[in-house]
Structure 1
Amino acid sequence: MQHIEFELAPGTSYIEVNHLLKAAGVCDSGGAGKAMVADGMVSVDGALETRKTAKIRAGQTVTCAQVRIVVRQAAAA
């Protein structure tokens, strides 16, 4: 399983799951990310995620298509 560490931008408290999948390179667009959620391919902290724009915060782990994304908060500048 591939492991990706994703840092939220400073001053940002969350990223929507469909945008996270795109930003991490798991899919090509936010729409494709929404489709992956709709198809039951995404879990957050081990639980199936059904909300296409769920807010993912620092400390959460998203798993999709043999990719694990750990979300961290970027250090303040």
Structure 2
Amino acid sequence: MEHITISTEYIKLDQFLKLAGCISTGGSAKALLQEQMVQVNGELEERRGRKLYPGDEVQVQGEGSYKVQSEQ
């Protein structure tokens, strides 16, 4: 599992996917989510704006698993 560090209280899922290198644009996030390829904390997620907080885990089919961590 790869750890992705954020410097804010939370990060939106589409921004997180870009930060993790899974996608290059917001439109790519929408397509990825519509194809049900993303899970947050073990549950399928379809909302680009889902807020992720430190400790949340994101699994992207074909890419890997990521954990949100705080900069502090």
Q: Shared topology, TM-score over 0.5?
A: yes
In structure 1, the partner of 2:29 is 33
Given the two structures, how large is their TM-score scaled by the length of structure 2? 0.89
Identity over the aligned pairs, expressed in percent?
31
How many matched pairs? 71
In structure 1, the partner of 2:68 is 71
Q: Which one has a bigger Cα radius of gyration?
A: 1
In structure 2, the partner of 1:17 is 13
Once the two structures are TM-superposed, the CA of residue 30 in structure 1 deviates from its matched residue by 2.0
In structure 2, the partner of 1:7 is 5
Q: Distance in 2 between matches of 1:38 and 1:13?
A: 26
CA contact (8 A) 1:62 1:69 kept: yes
Give 5+ residue unaligned stretches, structure 2. none
Structure 2 counterpart of 1:62, from 44, 58, 64: 58
Question: Cα RMSD (Å) of the superposition?
Answer: 1.1
Greater than 6 Å deviation, 4+ residue runs = none
CA contact (8 A) 1:5 1:70 kept: yes
